[in-house]
Amino acid sequence: QQQVRQSPQSLTVWEGETAILNCSYEDSTFNYFPWYQQFPGEGPALLISISSVSDKKEDGRFTIFFNKREKKLSLHITDSQPGDSATYFCAAHASSSFSKLVFGQGTSLSVVP
Amino acid sequence: EAAVTQSPRNKVAVTGGKVTLSCNQTNNHNNMYWYRQDTGHGLRLIHYSYGAGSTEKGDIPDGYKASRPSQENFSLILELATPSQTSVYFCASGAGLGGYEQYFGPGTRLTVL
């Protein structure tokens, strides 16, 4: 069964530090990896995404690093702010699944002032 | 303006009762999805649709039905609600046709007593 795993389950960093959220997968047909950010009481919102042909994607303070050989990726949040406190989901799309996403279980990030 | 809306936002139902969760999108997206979110499980796909009149089973369809009467509307139906269906339910829309991004509604918190 297709699986996406995230670690750690929860993470606390100080304001200004870099938070690193990890994601791994098993299915080699996965070709697109979006990260979603979810605040309490809200739905997930697309934050940043990367395709399997790239090894890095940057958007402001958010950067995805992708290692296709090891089937791992990570989301780096530099200069973390209290407003970044949220749950982050890694997801994956398989080329065979036509527009379906498989989600990891999420990482809850707390940024302490 | 919110492009994906859900109603109701909160619902308390009795075991054995019928529950209908509604979703409306103004993105003019072909694809729509229903997920449930439970602690430790991330987002799990229940049903999805490629367009008006179509519904497909997701990863956890048992106990749920879906209806897509129009491009804009997608409903999730629990014919005989059970306490194990207590959860937060999210609807999402996606362009499909190679567009993998999904856009989520605010969620419905369902409690089955």
Closest among A76, A63, A61 to A107, alpha carbons compared = A76
Q: What is the pLDDT of residues B32-87, one digit of tens each?
A: 999 999 987 889 999 999 899 999 999 999 999 999 999 999 999 999 999 999 99
State the Cα–Cα distance between residues B86 and B81, nearest whole angstrom. 9
Choose between B1 and A16: higher pLDDT. A16
Strands A62-67 and A10-14 come out as unpaired
Nearest by CB: A99 against B4, B100, B105: B100
The domains of chain A, with CATH numbers, are 4-112 (2.60.40.10)
Q: What is the pLDDT of residues B72-82, one digit of tens each?
A: 999 999 999 99
- Number of structural domains, chain B? 1
State the Cα–Cα distance between residues A39 and A37, nearest whole angstrom. 7
* Interchain CB distance below 8 Å, A44 and B105: no
Domain that holds residue B63: 4-112
Find the mean pLDDT for residues A21-30: 93
* Interchain CB distance below 8 Å, A99 and B96: yes
Give yes or no for residue A94 having a pLDDT over 90.
no
Give how far B5 is from chain A: nearest CA, Å. 10
pLDDT at B41: 81
- Identify the weakest region by mean pLDDT among A60-69, B50-59, B93-102: B93-102
CATH number of the domain encompassing residue B75: 2.60.40.10
